[in-house]
């Protein structure tokens, strides 16, 4: 259970890191959408390992093959099935982990839950499955683009180096100008230098990805449980290594009189946008912005104590090719999950009024 996301535009996902393939089904994509395969591949490339010195040197080409639901490059309204073959197997890297539980990994919990696990490359708990989200999210983005909605995510913090500027003061067209995907060139350099440093020590580092959705009209989001920001929170927290989410201005230390957004006109323009574009769980027409906290990835290149499934103490020396900082690769995943939430609520909103 738990491998389907969305109520109308639904993504179901399958696949282990080192199995035959990963894949998905999108059910509920409206008919008549032109598919831009280049865009999908571009998003996949932004996620894949081996794209820069910053990320893992694994070279997974992530060729997505569409099997149904698209006819002459147009969606037909029927389910879109797709697979990505797993090509670059180095399962032997993981043989040593067959019976051991890596610290802060899901090895132990999968074993306890299911009594069996595919230990190769983390199996289902590997972030490899996020490639499926990126494919589906890209299709969602194609639909949103037609509606005038655009989504931007970028790295805004790495360890203690923080981009203090608001997204309003950044040139979001520059996000991909550096391999870190931070649109402030100076901060980006600092952050990349820090990551390389950490990498040399075999350690890992976390940070924050910020995101903004522009052009969302008023009326998306459903009271009371499926608030737009509640679904965004779930979407983000479902991404590997995410520990926190907040949207709009951080207000825990401010007064109501300081943060209330004065409405200026019936179109919903406001003097400020501290609310982050959502009121009562429903979009109000302003930019939706939020940030997503990532922990340092658990796989470090240093020896660590642990136990095996006999309960014996073991020392884990990780080999393999791993990321010291997943943030640049997380950017397209955050965009994808944002798109999945928004497109689903767009479709839901079509049934709100007679």
328 contacts a second copy (rule: CB under 8 A):
no
Report the candidate in 171, 140, 137, 141 with the shortest Cα–Cα distance to residue 154: 171
Residues 204-223 that bind a second copy (CB under 8 A): 204-208, 218-219, 221-223
Here the tokens at position 7 are 């109520």
Give one DSSP letter per residue of 48-72, joined into a string: STTSSTTS--------EEE-SSEET
320 contacts a second copy (rule: CB under 8 A):
no
List 28, 50, 215, 320, residue binding a second copy (CB under 8 A)? 28
**Strand, helix or coil for residue 160:** coil
Residues written for the chain = 354
Piece of 40-48, 55-63, 184-192, 294-302 that binds a second copy (CB under 8 A): 294-302
List 46, 181, 199, 227, residue binding a second copy (CB under 8 A)? 227
Shortest reach from residue 47's CB to a second copy, in Å: 15
Residues 163-192 that bind a second copy (CB under 8 A): none
Shortest reach from residue 13's CB to a second copy, in Å: 6
Residues 333-352 that bind a second copy (CB under 8 A): 347-352
33 contacts a second copy (rule: CB under 8 A):
yes
Q: How far from each other are the two terminal CA atoms of the chain, in whole angstroms?
A: 34
Query: Which run of H or E residues covers position 236?
Result: helix 228-237
C-beta separation of 180 from 328 below 8 A: yes
Q: Which residues contact 23 (CB under 8 A, 6 or more apart)?
A: 13, 14, 15, 81, 82, 83, 84, 132
Report the candidate in 47, 49, 17, 239 with the shortest Cα–Cα distance to residue 128: 17
Considering the complex, state which of residue 215 and residue 268 has its C-beta at the smaller distance from a second copy: 268
For residues 137 and 8, give the distance between their C-alpha atoms in angstroms, rounded to a whole number.
14
Shortest reach from residue 173's CB to a second copy, in Å: 26
103 contacts a second copy (rule: CB under 8 A):
yes
Asked whether the CA dihedral 135, 141, 146, 152 is positive or negative, the reply is negative
315 contacts a second copy (rule: CB under 8 A):
no
229 contacts a second copy (rule: CB under 8 A):
yes
302 contacts a second copy (rule: CB under 8 A):
yes
Considering the complex, state which of residue 173 and residue 252 has its C-beta at the smaller distance from a second copy: 252
Piece of 40-48, 51-59, 89-97, 283-291 that binds a second copy (CB under 8 A): 283-291
Considering the complex, state which of residue 110 and residue 152 has its C-beta at the smaller distance from a second copy: 110
For residues 161 and 184, give the distance between their C-alpha atoms in angstroms, rounded to a whole number.
12
Residues 59-98 that bind a second copy (CB under 8 A): 65-69, 71, 74, 76-81, 83
Considering the complex, state which of residue 123 and residue 183 has its C-beta at the smaller distance from a second copy: 123
Q: What are phi and psi of 100, to 5 degrees?
A: -115, 155
For residues 141 and 287, give the distance between their C-alpha atoms in angstroms, rounded to a whole number.
16
Shortest reach from residue 117's CB to a second copy, in Å: 6
15 contacts a second copy (rule: CB under 8 A):
yes
């Amino acid at each position: 259970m738990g491998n389907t996301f969305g109520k109308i535009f639904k993504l179901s996902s399958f696949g282990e890191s080192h199995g035959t393939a990963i894949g998905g089904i999108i059910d509920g994509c409206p008919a008549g959408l032109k598919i831009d395969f280049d865009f999908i591949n571009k998003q996949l490339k932004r996620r894949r390992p081996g794209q820069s010195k910053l990320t893992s040197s694994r070279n997974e080409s992530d060729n997505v093959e569409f099997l149904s639901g698209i006819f002459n490059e147009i969606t037909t309204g029927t389910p879109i099935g797709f697979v990505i073959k797993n090509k670059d197997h180095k399962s032997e890297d993981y043989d040593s982990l067959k019976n051991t539980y890596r610290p802060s990994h899901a090895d132990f919990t999968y074993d306890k839950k299911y009594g069996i696990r595919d230990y190769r490359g983390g199996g289902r708990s590997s972030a490899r499955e996020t490639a499926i989200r990126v494919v589906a999210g890209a299709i969602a983005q194609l639909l949103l683009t037609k509606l005038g909605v655009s989504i931007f995510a970028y790295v805004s913090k790495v360890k203690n180096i923080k981009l203090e500027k608001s997204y309003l003061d950044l040139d979001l067209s520059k996000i991909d100008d550096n391999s870190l995907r931070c649109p402030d060139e100076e901060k980006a350099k600092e952050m990349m230098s820090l990551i390389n440093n950490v990498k040399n020590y075999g350690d890992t580092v976390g940070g924050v990805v910020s995101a903004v959705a522009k052009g969302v009209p008023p009326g998306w989001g459903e009271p009371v449980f499926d608030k737009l920001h509640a679904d965004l929170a779930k979407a983000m927290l479902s991404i590997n290594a995410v520990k926190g989410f907040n949207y709009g201005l951080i207000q825990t230390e401010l007064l109501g009189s300081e943060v209330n957004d004065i409405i200026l006109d019936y179109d919903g323009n406001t003097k400020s946008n501290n609310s982050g574009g959502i009121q009562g769980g429903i979009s109000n027409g302003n930019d939706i912005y939020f940030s997503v906290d990532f922990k340092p990835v658990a796989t470090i290149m240093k020896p660590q104590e642990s136990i095996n499934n006999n309960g014996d103490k073991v020392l884990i020396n990780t080999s393999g090719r791993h990321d010291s900082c997943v943030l640049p690769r997380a950017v397209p995943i955050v965009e994808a999950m944002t798109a999945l939430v928004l497109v689903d609520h767009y479709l839901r909103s079509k049934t709100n009024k007679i």
